[in-house]
A and B are shown apart, each in its own frame.
Chain A
Amino acid sequence: MIPELGEFALILALGFSVILAIVPLYGAATLKTLWMEYAKPLAKAQFSFTLISFICLAYAFGQDDFSVQYVANHSNSQLPIQFKLSAVWGGHEGSLLLWALILSGWTLAVSLFSRGLPLDMLARVLGVMGIIATGFTSFLLWTSSPFLRYLPRYPADGADLNPLLQDFGLIVHPPLLYMGYVGFSVAFSFAIAALLSGRLDAAWARWSRPWTNIAWAFLGAGITLGSWWAYYELGWGGWWFWDPVENASLMPWLVGTALIHSLAVTEKRGVFKSWTLLLAIFAFSLSLLGTFLVRSGVLTSVHAFATDPERGFFILILLVLTIGGSLTLYAFKAPSVKSESSFTWLSREMLLLINNVFLMVMAVTVLLGTLYPLLIDALGQGKISVGPPYFNALFVPIMGLMVICLGFSSVARWRTTSVEAVKQQLMLPGIVSLATGLIFPFVYGDGFNFRVFIGISLSMWIITAVAQEFKGKFRRAKSIPEKLKQLSPSYYGMMVAHVGVAVTAIGITLVSVYSEERDMRLAIGDSIELADYQFKFLGTKSVKGANYTADQASIEISLDGEPVVTLHPEKRRYNVKRSMMTEASIDPGLFRDLYVALGEPLADGAWAVRVHYKPYVRWLWLGGLLMALGGILTAFDRRYRRNNKEKQGVAHA
């Protein structure tokens, strides 16, 4: 009964989405206030019914209703309750329902927090979001309803959730990532609404900015958590695999990064307008492409769920309609866009534009590497895969160039800057960062290392340039605490995010260069040495978890004879699926992780054991979280809460 209620609620939600897609847009086109007024209540109704549908599915999971196919395939009565509930998005159908729920949530949020928005603009934005919701909800209902039943004979127990997913990571990673993916639909809708209305002034950028920054922050946090999850759960200590699905989330993030910077320029200076519109369209299109790549099963990946060509085809149609439709509209409307100010070759605008180009090149690089195997396969030229060396060879150098540019743009002024001023401001940061990069490998490692030199210098370059610019703010300030209060949240957000880039860069550099790893056969009492630590294998014992049994090893780690920690990696056997899972054990630290994972049992109680020494690995996630925090901070700026009607036109910063 409850699952049918869920299905019914979803159908009603689709009904409201269809009305939301038609009525307010028609109202805005014909200037009928009453029709436009419908947008807000419709957004509320759409959200309420999607939420009811989602709760029904969660209830079916909580009650172990294995007559529902989706529950039977992704849950089990032995599963702990928190995993039963997060198993709701542990498969294709449920994760799409989460997608739809988050989309309607964003729609609701726009309708609630947009008091300053003119009615016609709001109607258009919500209408466009209604179109997207219509597409996705019908996709859900027609090809992947999570409420289908096994009737009359249903299984006594469920097939269980994939053991890899029975983890804290499943609880937080998909919702955060989807918040980001779907959040770009808001930026997209604002762009489309602006194109439809023909009002492409800077006000549009100001409305769209906080939403875009928040979506970007969620996406970044989601990617960061995903990387952390893969690190401790997959058991081989990697934190980025250039897996197609990782790439699918990285591409919208890169374009999103370009978008938030371009939006900033559009808001403050009234230039790059058509470029910003294009980026907003691309960011959301890439989010859709990501969904297509993950859900259609065209790629071999850890994330690929059941393959179903019909679903892939449906998303492909959605993708073509979205990209084709929005670009057509763009082609008709964009030429009328006029810049409101000018800038010279050396100015913050120019440097941000260059960074935008770098980010787009990175996104295109990743896109080509991800789609190339598909293209070759479609052409019947054979099966290939593109290895990580390709991505590293192109991604890392462009990233480096971009970071150099970031330092310059931090101190450059809007409109125009003199070479002298830049030189004067950046001489000291340049020297400091080069010197730190040069000295660091001697102090930390055993001698000069080119990659460390580059990585540390670039990170220091960001930090010192940001600090220099921050210091400059106080040149004419009478009291320092007063000035600190005066600076806007968006300014602090920018600084935090840029420092985050540096922290991530430090983490990536040091963990790639100074990591040590060994796979060894260890009998009881054997020990190995790695990076000055001694790892002693004390044997294994059998332990029992909620829905698995495991061999748990004890590995005593000491440093120069002093005991550090005893780690207990496990080899789990899950009862229901009879599948094996490696549960790594980690001693985390700000400056190093010690990581131990069990391979397979060998003869005489010996085990294959993998040990890692991972210096500064936490920094790369810490940096990711700082970037996300920065994105959130910017949205708290006072100027977004003020009534937007009061100040239109260009805001001169």
Chain B
Amino acid sequence: MTPKRKKRLIIILSIVFGTSLIVGLVMYSLNQNINLFYSASQIANGEAPVGARIRAGGMVVDGSVKRATDSLRVSFALTDYEHTVNVVFTGILPDLFREGQGIIAQGKMDENGIFQAIEVLAKHDENYMPPEIAETMKAKKEAAQ
């Protein structure tokens, strides 16, 4: 190998090595930080892991929102019109949160089958449904027919 070629080889090898190192690190931290989405039915069927950070979505059941009188603790039920899951959240709910509205909650399932939300997301207008929910509901509808 000529010295020039050798130099090139070293450069190329270090680029390949550097890139794979970066990609490896990125993939590692991606896998540490992805939040899987579960529908109410999946949670009711026990598909959702207990204690892992996940996202749950559905429509807020009418008449299910209950507030504590001495703190900001709120409990409500989420449904995909087949199963429901109970959610507990302490804090301030977003402006667009209301009964009958599609929302996404981020948090963990506890041992009692209650979803402990850390964050509740409700975006857009009153007709909006997060795509995740819309899709699971559509799949339900098709399966029923």
Chain A residues in contact with chain B, CB under 8 A? 162, 235-236, 300, 302, 307, 361, 364-365, 368-369, 372-373, 382-387, 389-390, 393-394, 519-521, 577-582, 597, 599-600, 602-603, 608, 610
Contact = CB atoms under 8 A, between A and B. Distances in A.
Contact of B67 (A235, A384, A519, A602): A602
Contact of B131 (A300, A579, A603): A300
Contacts of A364: 22, 26
Nearest to A299: B131
A383 B33 contact: no
Contacts of A519: 72, 90-92
B128 to A, nearest CB: 10
Of B53, B90, B131, most buried by chain A (CB within 10 Å of CB) is B131
19 contacts: A236-B92, A300-B131, A300-B132, A302-B123, A307-B131, A364-B26, A365-B26, A386-B30, A386-B35, A389-B32, A389-B33, A390-B29, A393-B32, A394-B25, A519-B92, A577-B125, A599-B72, A608-B72, A608-B92
B68 to A, nearest CB: 9
Nearest to B73: A521
A387 B26 CA distance: 13
A382 B37 contact: yes
A365 B130 CA distance: 26
Nearest to A603: B69
Given A519-B91, A600-B92, A603-B69, 6 more contacts: A235-B95, A382-B36, A383-B55, A385-B34, A386-B33, A599-B92
A445 B70 CA distance: 33
Contacts of B22: 361, 364-365
Nearest to A367: B26
Q: Which 7 A-B pairs have the closest CB atoms?
A: A599-B92, A390-B33, A383-B37, A580-B95, A384-B34, A389-B33, A383-B132
Interface string B32-59: 1111110000000000000001010000
A158 B70 CA distance: 42
B71 interface: yes
B9 interface: no
A236 B69 CA distance: 23
Contacts of A580: 95-96
Of A372, A383, A577, A602, most buried by chain B (CB within 10 Å of CB) is A383
Contacts of B34: 372-373, 384-387, 390
B62 interface: no
B130 A300 contact: yes
A390 B35 CA distance: 11
Contacts of A162: 125
Given A599-B92, A603-B69, A384 B125 contact: no
Contacts of A387: 33-35, 53
Given A521-B70, A599-B72, A579 B96 contact: yes
A578 B126 CA distance: 9
Interface residues of B, number: 31
A521 B72 contact: yes
A610 B95 contact: no
Contacts of A521: 70-72
Contacts of B130: 300
Contacts of A368: 26, 30
A600 B72 CA distance: 10
Given A361-B22, A387-B33, A582 B95 contact: yes
Contacts of B55: 383, 385
A518 to B, nearest CB: 10
B93 interface: yes
B69 A579 contact: no
A603 to B, nearest CB: 7
A387 B31 CA distance: 10
Contacts of A235: 95
Contacts of A300: 123, 130-132
Interface in B71-106: 71-72, 90-93, 95-96
A386 B35 CA distance: 6
Contacts of B123: 300, 302
A384 B37 contact: yes
B89 to A, nearest CB: 11
A130 B126 CA distance: 41
B32 to A, nearest CB: 7
B94 to A, nearest CB: 8
B125 A579 contact: yes
A383 B131 CA distance: 10
B5 to A, nearest CB: 17
A520 B26 contact: no
B95 A383 contact: no
Contacts of A372: 30, 34
A492 B139 CA distance: 60
A300 B106 CA distance: 15
Contacts of B33: 386-387, 389-390, 393
Nearest to A580: B95
A382 B70 CA distance: 39
A307 B131 CA distance: 10
A607 to B, nearest CB: 10
B26 A599 contact: no
A393 B132 CA distance: 27
